[in-house]
Structure 1
């Protein structure tokens, strides 16, 4: 197995184990076993557990941005519908097998207070999401504050859906987003 294949196997195993069990609960030996690599190879590629978590979160950010953007771009060209597509994307995600919440929120909850680099990655991901929503809000011609409101609504929906195990949370969030959007567009 070459270096790139070993790296991919480690990251795939880490993503699955961390998402299903939590970041702190998974030890390096369990990860090594799940990835099918030696402990020596694991540490040669990732000198610490934080290095693995960092790589997993970077991969998750790329995956999130790609999937969300594809969903929004597939929506009708109407800027309002493109904003609401965020919540349709969340609904599908919440209904998927094994949904356990946002990997970033989970990482921050477990490790944000003790690992500043993890906290920074999570904050950067959340800021990038809000910036993306800001772009969609500008396309709509709505006030900038709407982006923060819609982002908070989406983040809250992720947490609530994870706790309640109810994908309908996204439908409720979509309805609330529609009210916020319509209110923001109403003449003062």
Structure 2
């Protein structure tokens, strides 16, 4: 009887040890199988997020700022005088036609801008504005700055090219003020010579 009990205890011990070894062997395999799966999911998320971030950045980069100057040319929302209508459309999409005579006028809902063209070349750009947009331009402009002594209109002249950016009372629309980019002419210099437009800097 004692032998029988001893044999049973030994047999149970061997069986228990065998089961435990199998569990120990199986557990690392399960963990090994789980880990790559987790890494793939995490990596996938990271890749997707970085792709989305890049997409958002490229969309933001595609839209030019309100104002910048380059090689003596003044740009409003990425456009300057002499640019083509097709360039404006490539940046801001299809416009609404406002007038055909004497100049073709086009309105771009985004960014709320009107351009005038002759032979599909831009001759004037008009943007409704407010004080914040005024600061955005005046703080970075580096040409000649004039103020009208008889009103609160201001003029920013690019001396290299003769381009003139006017800040004045809005002729129409919901804005009090407007930016108008066009070429300077004899009228402008007449008022400068008469002292009506005084140089600020």
Asked if these proteins are the same fold (TM beyond 0.5), I'd say no
Q: Which has the higher contact order (CA 8 A, sep 6+)?
A: 1
Which structure has the highest helix share of the two?
A: 1
TM-score range, shorter chain: under 0.3
Bigger radius of gyration: 2
TM-score by length of 2: 0.26
- Name the one with the larger strand percent: 2
